[in-house]
Amino acid sequence: PQKAKEYALVIHGGAGTITKANLKPNQERAYREKLTAVLEIGDQMLKEGKSSEEVVVRVISLMENSPLFNAGKGSVFNAEGKQDMDASIMRGDDLNCGAIAGVSNVKNPIKLARMVMDSSEHVFLARKGAEQFAQEMQLDIVDPDYFFDQKRYDRWKKLKDKEVLSEEEKHGTVGAVCLDKSGNLCAGTSTGGMTYKKWGRIGDSPVIGAGTYANNESCGVSSTGHGEFFIRAMVAHQIAAAMEYGDYTLEEAANLVIHEKLQHLGGTGGVIAMDKFGNVAMPFNTEGMYRGYVTSDSEPSVAIYK
Ligand code: ASP
C-alpha cells in the first residue's frame, strides 16, 4: 500500500494558449511569484493543522484578490460590459458542497460558496438572491468598480469591435485542491467566466461535477477551460468515477478524461486533481496552464508551459 503524504495542496490559475512567445518575461515572473507565494501560505497553514476547507478558501481568495487571474478582481467582462462571477467548493468527507453564480458585488466569491455549503440548507444560489445571502452572512460587499481591470476591459472592447482573441485572452479561472492532516480532501474553483458571455451564461466552474468535485474515496478536482465542454463531459466527476467504479489511478483517470473524453468532444482546458494519498495530476490539452503544488515532503513547485 502507498504511503500517504501528511498534507498536500495543488492550485491552478487558468489554462489556454500560454506560450513562452506570448508571455513577457516580467509577466511570467509575476505569475510565478504569485503562485509560489500562494503555495507558501497554504503550506504554512497545512503545517499548522488547518483544514483543507480553510486552506482552499484562503488560497483561492488570494488569487481572487490578484488582477493576474480571471476571478474576483480582474474578472473578464460579459457582453453587457459588466463583470459577474461564479464559484464553488466541495468537501470530500461528507460530500457537502456550495456554489454561486452571477454575483457582481461580493469581494470573494469563494467565501460565498463556502457560506452556502456551511450555513445554508441549499447547494447552489444565483444572482440577486446569492448577493442578498452574502449580505446576510456579512461578507465583504464592494462596489462593482472594485473588480475593474484595464487589460480585461481592452479585451472586451476588442471582441466588441469584432477582433479575434486567443483562447487564453477570453477566459481563465483559479482553483485549488487540498488534502489536510486529518485526511480530508477539499476542492474549490472561482472564475469570471468567458469574455463576452451572453444572456446570463454560466460556465462549468460553479457546476458541481463539472468544474469542482471532491470525495475522500477517490479524489478532488478543479477544472479550467472552455466551460461548455466541461459541463457536457462532466469532467470533475468523471475523473472521480473512473477511480471509484473502475480501477484507475489518479493519473490514469485524469488523463483519460482530459486527453480522450474532453479531447474527442473538441473541448480545451485542463484540471488539477489530488487523491487521498496526496498524489497530484495536472493534465491539460492547451499550450499552458498556470499551476503549482506543494506537499508535506516537497517544496513549492510552479509551472506554466507544457
Ligand atoms: N471554465 C471557465 C468558464 O467557462 C473559464 C476558464 O476556466 O477558463 O467559465
Residues with CB under 6 A from ligand 1: 14, 171-173, 191, 193-194, 203-205, 224-225, 227
Percent of the chain with pLDDT over 90: 90
pLDDT attached to residue 3: 83
| pLDDT at 166 > cutoff 90 | no
Burial category of 204 from C-beta neighbours within 10 Å (exposed 0-12, middle 13-18, buried 19 and up): buried
Which atom of ligand 1 is nearest to 193's Cα?
9
Question: From ligand 1's centre to the CA of 110, what distance in Å?
Answer: 15
Question: From ligand 1's centre to the CA of 135, what distance in Å?
Answer: 26
DSSP state of 204: S
- Catalytic sites, residue numbers: 173
pLDDT tier at 1, thresholds 50, 70, 90: low
Burial category of 128 from C-beta neighbours within 10 Å (exposed 0-12, middle 13-18, buried 19 and up): exposed
Which atom of ligand 1 is nearest to 15's Cα?
8
| pLDDT at 21 > cutoff 80 | yes
Mean pLDDT of 244-260: 97
Tell me what the pLDDT averaged over the chain comes to: 96
List Cβ neighbours of 213 (8 Å cut-off, separation of 6 or more). 90, 187, 219, 220, 221, 236, 237, 239, 240
Of the candidates 93, 214, 74, the residue with the CA atom closest to the CA atom of residue 156: 74
Mean pLDDT of 11-15: 96
Q: Are strands 269-275 and 219-225 parallel, antiparallel or unpaired?
A: antiparallel
pLDDT tier at 171, thresholds 50, 70, 90: confident
CB 130 within 8 A of CB 101: yes
Question: From ligand 1's centre to the CA of 227, what distance in Å?
Answer: 5
pLDDT tier at 168, thresholds 50, 70, 90: low
